[in-house]
Amino acid sequence: MVTSSKPGTKNGLHVSQIDISESTRSRVITLLNQSLATTMDLYTQLKQAHWNVKGSGFYQLHTLFDEIAEEVEAFVDLMAERITALGGTALGTARIAAQQSLLQEYPLDVFNGPEHIKALVSRMALYAGHIRSAIDTCDGLGEPTTTDLYTQVSRSVDKQLWLLEAHIQA
């Protein structure tokens, strides 16, 4: 994981009056930056599917992928702003996201709707698992505000996963 230890920071953290220990803040920031990278990657993979879907049901899937991408993009700001509120540095460049994401690279030879859906379902499911794990970690650290942020994301991701899976379930 990429970290920051620049002048004006203490142990990589900006000085803050927030009543959360430096140790807890550091652990939560590291987790949030991992989530930020994965979320940014998920967003771009959704856009890849949105731009390249072909075939039967094109318009419905083109629209669905874009709507899900917009929801995922909103998580990026939530996570980055929480990182900075805790005194950290949000590590959100495309290069960092590519290096740190938990997701596999999106297949570039996928064009028909069902193949895009399968690729997105597998990535969305992995992402949902990561978010649930983050909820448990933050809860165990006694950090309810970040736990709540992850719970909000989890609720939305479960719905998005359901919307995708409904297209391949009989």
User: Cβ(100)–Cβ(34) under 8 Å?
Assistant: yes
Which residues does residue 13 pair with via DSSP β-bridges, in sequence order?
10
Q: Where do the H-state alpha helices sit in 53-112?
A: 58-85, 94-100
pLDDT at 10 > cutoff 90: no
Look up residue 121 and give its two tokens: 């379902």
13-72: pLDDT as tens digits = 998 899 999 999 999 999 999 999 999 999 999 999 999 999 989 999 999 999 999 999
Threshold 0.75, pTM exceeds: yes
Count of CB atoms situated within 10 Å of the CB of 48: 20
State the residue for tokens 């005194």. Answer: 87
Distance of alpha carbon 114 from the chain centroid: 23
CA nearest 83: which of 157, 20, 158?
20
**Residue 4 pLDDT level (bands cut at 50, 70, 90):** very low
Domains and CATH numbers, the chain: 21-165 (1.20.1260.10)
